A = this chain, B = another copy of it.
Amino acid sequence: MRILGVDPGLRRTGFGVIDVQGPRLTYVTSGTIVVPATIPLPQRLKVILDNLRQVAQETQPDVAAVEIVFMNVNPASTLLLGQARGAVLCALADSGLTVQEYTALQIKKSVVGAGRAAKEQVQLMVQRLLALDGVPAPDSADALACAICHAHFAPLSEKLGELNYQSRTSRGRSRVRAGRLLG
């Protein structure tokens, strides 16, 4: 199974791809989509959409895992971060990928063993778990950590999640309602 992990952000969106065979994890690639802060918001989101679709196209993952972003104390920042995350989820769904979401707590626990781990600890553990020659950069490390988290949860979530998911989708259907003119 190949997993694409993503750490969403409006300025920098980290991505990391790993292969999983039983208990064995193998590093495939990682990187950061750096978005210019000087262009209008719709185009900043388009940069994330286009580049992440290209990553998915080039690496052909089986599934994607995305960190559930934390809510900033500043509502304006929360709104911006939400829009960046929306672009990430659109890119992944548009690439035909099922997306699993994990909290920072789940990710840190499954990588470091503790929920309150520092950024440097995550980087070091990602390096160790993937047997890398050096410490990965912060954005890549967070994305790879998210992929590793899914590798740990996948055996369980695949059985539970699928059932759960099917029973939920059979109920909900989207529709486009034409503009009604009332009265």
Contacts and interface: CB of A to CB of B under 8 A. Distances in A.
**Identical chains bound together, number:** 2
Given A93-B42, A168-B39, A171-B36, A85 B82 contact: yes
A41 to B, nearest CB: 7
A92 B42 contact: yes
A78 to B, nearest CB: 5
B93 A49 contact: yes
Given A82-B82, A169-B39, A176-B33, A134 B89 contact: no
A83 interface: yes
Interface in A155-183: 165, 168-169, 171-183
A79 B81 contact: yes
Rank and list the top 4 A-B pairs by shortest CB-CB distance, nearest first. A82-B82, A86-B86, A36-B172, A134-B181
